[in-house]
Amino acid sequence: MPEKIMINPVTRISGFMEIEADIANNYVVDSKTKGLMFRGFEKMLLGRSPFDAVYFTQRICGICSTAHSMASTLALENAMNFVPSEQGRYLRDIIHGCEFLQNHLRHFYQYTIPDFVKLPEEYPLFKVDHKDYRLPKNLNDKMVKDYFESLSISRSAHQMLAILGGKAPHNHGVFIGGITSQATIDKIISLKSILDDIEKFINEIMIPDVYEIANYYSEYYHIGRGYGNLLSYGCFNNYQDLGTLYVNPLVYSNNTITVFNPDEITQENEYAYYDNKNEPDIQKPQAYSWIKAPRYNNVPYEVGPLARQWLSGNYRHGISVMDRTIARVLEAGKIASIIKVLIQNLIPGVSVQQEYSIPEKSAGRGLIDTTRGALGHWLSIDNSKIAFYQIITPSAWNLSTQTGNIKGTAEQAIIGSPVKDINAPVEIGRIIRSFDPCVSCATHVYTDGKLINSFQVV
Q: Which of residues 225-284 bind other proteins (CB under 8 A)?
A: 280, 282
Q: Out of 52, 196, 204, 360, which residue is the one contacting other proteins (CB under 8 A)?
A: 52
Residue (43 or 222) nearer to other proteins, CB = 43
Residue (333 or 437) nearer to other proteins, CB = 437
- What's the closest the beta carbon of residue 412 comes to other proteins, in angstroms? 21
128 touching other proteins, by CB under 8 A: yes
* Burial group, residue 353, by CB count within 10 angstroms (0-12, 13-18, 19+): middle
Main-chain phi, psi angles of 205, to 5 degrees: -125, -50
346 touching other proteins, by CB under 8 A: no
Main-chain phi, psi angles of 194, to 5 degrees: -65, -40
Specify the DSSP class assigned to residue 223. Answer: S
Residue (17 or 214) nearer to other proteins, CB = 17
- What's the closest the beta carbon of residue 31 comes to other proteins, in angstroms? 15
Are 440 and 391 in contact by the 8 Å Cβ rule? The answer is: no
Q: Out of 169, 226, 262, 437, which residue is the one contacting other proteins (CB under 8 A)?
A: 169
Q: For residues 181 and 172, what is the distance between their CA atoms, to the nearest angstrom?
A: 9
Residue (38 or 252) nearer to other proteins, CB = 38
Residues in 372-411 at the binding interface with other proteins, rule: CB under 8 A: none
**CB atoms inside a 10 Å sphere around CB 120:** 11
Q: Out of 173, 234, 262, 305, which residue is the one contacting other proteins (CB under 8 A)?
A: 173
- What's the closest the beta carbon of residue 406 comes to other proteins, in angstroms? 25
* Burial group, residue 438, by CB count within 10 angstroms (0-12, 13-18, 19+): buried
User: How far, in whole angstroms, is CA 403 from its chain's centroid?
Assistant: 22
Q: For residues 74 and 435, what is the distance between their CA atoms, to the nearest angstrom?
A: 25
Q: For residues 228 and 211, what is the distance between their CA atoms, to the nearest angstrom?
A: 22
Q: Out of 14, 31, 371, 417, which residue is the one contacting other proteins (CB under 8 A)?
A: 14
Q: Which range of residues in 175-183, 324-332, 362-370, 408-416 is near other proteins by CB under 8 A? A: 175-183
All residues at 6 or more sequence positions from 202 whose CB lies less than 8 Å from its CB, including other chains: 105, 329, 332, 333, 336
All residues at 6 or more sequence positions from 2 whose CB lies less than 8 Å from its CB, including other chains: 22, 23, 24, 29, 30
Residue (163 or 202) nearer to other proteins, CB = 163
Residue (191 or 326) nearer to other proteins, CB = 191
- What's the closest the beta carbon of residue 439 comes to other proteins, in angstroms? 9
167 touching other proteins, by CB under 8 A: yes
Binding mask 133-152 for other proteins (x = CB under 8 A): ---------------x--xx
Q: For residues 113 and 413, what is the distance between their CA atoms, to the nearest angstrom?
A: 20
Q: Out of 1, 276, 313, 355, which residue is the one contacting other proteins (CB under 8 A)?
A: 355
- What's the closest the beta carbon of residue 309 comes to other proteins, in angstroms? 25
Q: For residues 109 and 17, what is the distance between their CA atoms, to the nearest angstrom?
A: 20
Q: Which range of residues in 55-63, 233-241, 302-310, 413-421 is near other proteins by CB under 8 A? A: 55-63
Q: Out of 21, 28, 33, 56, which residue is the one contacting other proteins (CB under 8 A)?
A: 56
Sign of CA dihedral 47, 49, 53, 56: negative
Residue (192 or 316) nearer to other proteins, CB = 192
Sign of CA dihedral 392, 393, 394, 398: negative
243 φψ region: left (φ > 0), alpha (ψ -120 to 50), beta (else): left
82 touching other proteins, by CB under 8 A: no
- What's the closest the beta carbon of residue 50 comes to other proteins, in angstroms? 10
61 touching other proteins, by CB under 8 A: yes
18 touching other proteins, by CB under 8 A: yes
Q: For residues 51 and 352, what is the distance between their CA atoms, to the nearest angstrom?
A: 16
Residues in 107-126 at the binding interface with other proteins, rule: CB under 8 A: 110-111, 114, 119, 123-126
Residues in 32-51 at the binding interface with other proteins, rule: CB under 8 A: 36-40, 43-44, 48-49, 51
159 touching other proteins, by CB under 8 A: yes
47 φψ region: left (φ > 0), alpha (ψ -120 to 50), beta (else): left
220 touching other proteins, by CB under 8 A: no
CA-based nearest residue to 71, from 367, 364, 388, 397: 367
Residue (69 or 248) nearer to other proteins, CB = 69
Q: Out of 72, 181, 403, 434, which residue is the one contacting other proteins (CB under 8 A)?
A: 181
Residues in 417-436 at the binding interface with other proteins, rule: CB under 8 A: 429
357 touching other proteins, by CB under 8 A: yes
